[in-house]
Amino acid sequence: MMDRVSENEGMHYEGYCIRPPSEADSILLQVTLGCSHNRCTFCGSYPDKRFRIKEDKIILSDLLYASRHMQHEDRLFLMDGDALIIPQQRLIWILERIKEHLPQVKRVGAYANVKGIQRKSLEELKQLRENNLGILYYGVETGDDEIREAIHKGSTAATCIEMGRRVKEAGIRLSATVLLGIGGRERSLQHARATGELLSAMDPDFVGALTVMLIPGTPLYRDSVNGRFELPDEHGLLRELREMITCTHMTRGYFFSNHASNYLPIKAKLPSGKQKALDLIDAALRGEVGLTPEWLRAL
């Protein structure tokens, strides 16, 4: 723990900095360490980080540093796993300090999970929106309750939908993250259909599909080694992606599979671009479109 903080020390990052691909050019402000849930069987993001909220003086020091050295970035992302878990008044204080010291920042983003959103009323979320919290990246993973229980998500699909709708009602943009392959070979298409149904009911602004990476040390990796879990192959993952997009009916929004973990990058504006995306997947299944090679997927 740091007792004294100088404005000239730089940003006080601890461990790896994890952020969504779309926040690559954002100021990264670490306000929490780790994830308050940290029990998902597939996740190896925060194995050595015990969750805590960072001290106000550290956060303020980082904002002062950013105000001098990051004057052209107009977006900011709150790390680590779930900044939304921070008590409301303290989170408002952080957002107000961002506005005070980084007035050029037009949008603040953060990761969110069901537990964090549940702790905020609709009015509290609206208050956060009024203080520039403009987007939440929501770890949905799957709409299949059997899989959700197996991977220890800690919530049902129905609750996940309810909390996503609360975010949207507050006027905060919602980017839902789903995981290709998380149902294994056995439940691949069930997972795809149930997730499409969840996304349709939630109607997020963005969907980001990532492919499960088996990370050594995680429970899912051990299940894979012991033969209790088997990822679909490339074609199986493509068929899963196709089924998921087919079953996703959004009023308007974007469906992305352009994360580095995926075999086939897709950016589809829904609903108008759905058929074009499905045609591209079909072409890839026929071998007419090249897939991302394994060595480029080694994240």
Helix (H, G, I), strand (E, B) or coil at 239: helix
Q: How far apart are CA 138 and CA 120, in angstroms?
A: 14
Asked whether residue 15 is domain-assigned, the answer is no
Q: What domain count does the chain have?
A: 1
Assigned token pair, 132: 């520039």
Residue in this structure with the two tokens 């950013």, named with its chain if needed: 66
Is 298 a domain residue? no
Is there a domain that residue 125 lies in? yes
Task: Decide if 6 is inside a domain.
Answer: no
Rounded Cα distance, 82 and 117, in Å? 10
What's residue 7's pLDDT? 42
Q: Rounded distance, CA 197 to CA 142, Å? A: 10
Query: Residue 250 belongs to a domain with what CATH number?
Result: 3.20.20.70
* Contacts of residue 82, Cβ cutoff 8 Å, sequence gap at least 6: 32, 35, 36, 37, 110, 111, 112, 113, 115, 116
CA dist 77 to 19, 28, 98, 110, 200, Å?
A: 8, 5, 11, 6, 27
CA distances from 204 to 78, 82, 230 (A): 20, 18, 30
- Can you give the pLDDT at residue 298? 58
First vs last C-alpha separation in the chain: 30
Q: Which residues pair with 178 in a beta bridge?
A: 141, 209
Q: Which domain holds residue 183?
A: 21-290
Residue for token pair 């894979």? 224
- Three-class SS state of 159: helix
Is residue 94 situated within a structural domain?
yes
**Tokens 């190896």, located at residue:** 44
Whether 16 is in a domain gets the answer no
In a domain, 296, yes or no: no
- Walking along the chain (299 residues) 10 residues at a time, the average pLDDT comes out as 44 87 93 87 79 93 95 94 93 98 97 95 98 97 97 96 98 98 97 98 97 93 94 96 98 93 94 97 96 78
Domain-located, residue 249: yes
- CA-to-CA distance for 166 and 168, rounded, in angstroms? 5
